[in-house]
Amino acid sequence: MDIDFPLVLSWVVLICGLIWLGDTLLLKPRRLAAVDALGSDASDDAVAAIAEEPVVVEYARSFFPVLLLVLVLRSFVAEPYQIPTPSMVPTLNVGDFVLVNKWAYGLRLPVFGTKIVPVGEPKRGDIMVFVPPHSPKYFIKRVIGVPGDAVRYSNKAIYINGERLDYQFVKEFRIDLPSGRRIVRDYDETIGGITHTVYRYPERRERGTAEWTLGEGDYFMMGDNRGRSEDSRSWGFAREENIVGKAIAVWMHKEPGWHLPTFGQNRWLNRRTAEDQ
């Protein structure tokens, strides 16, 4: 079962804050008044028993500032995200832990996603984390088209506003997949000033030419592992209000199962090699 961590964290922070506030405004004054009513002849034990802070309030007061700091950092600064599928191979591998910049595309309210401070907009070539239209889960893909673009996908190549992206063939090799051993062709693709590797599967049959026109707030997303990625080609566009942030670095890797995390694959992402397009 998937847990909406930002929602749970927000509720926990709210509950802890309300408990602490309620005690400060209502219960604590009553305890102090009861202590005063005992008079100066009351024993220390009696005073301590009446003035003692309830356990629930003690925990709420202790956890509230820590949890609030975590919520603020996750909502407005950075958030970790683990790669669950091979759709972004070879750029991102299953088990990579990615650092997501939460303010690169504007500061947003936690849970609701409403932008409150505009900072920047996604650019072609960025690796972006978002919530797709068909699932509540976080997805991570590369930005291919931005609002106003006309995107065409034909013969495993992408055309933006009528211009074909630059592709350079690198090598051909074979990999083992659940469906059997398959041929993979490695290409360097350049988009938005970023040159990155994409995988094509020549044996995989695809439909003919498909075209999309992006409206305001629409983003066309694709995985770098083109033959093994469910993306905007099948479920449509990512919406501006569902953007989570910009993936900027791999900070840890952990293979699935009982394996220790490693840091030898740490690297920066979204390095541009030319002027933004």
What phi, psi does 105 have (nearest 5°)?
Answer: -110, 20
SS3 breakdown of the chain: % helix, strand, coil, rounded to 5? 30, 35, 40
Angstrom distance (rounded) from CA 105 to CA 74: 14
**Residue 208 near residue 152, CB atoms below 8 Å:** no
**Residue 194 near residue 174, CB atoms below 8 Å:** no
- Which ranges constitute the DSSP H helices of the chain? 5-22, 28-38, 44-51, 55-76, 232-235
**Residue 219 near residue 143, CB atoms below 8 Å:** yes
Angstrom distance (rounded) from CA 270 to CA 135: 25
Angstrom distance (rounded) from CA 122 to CA 275: 15
Q: Which of 13, 35, 32 is nearest to 24 (CA)?
A: 32
Catalytic residue positions? 87, 141
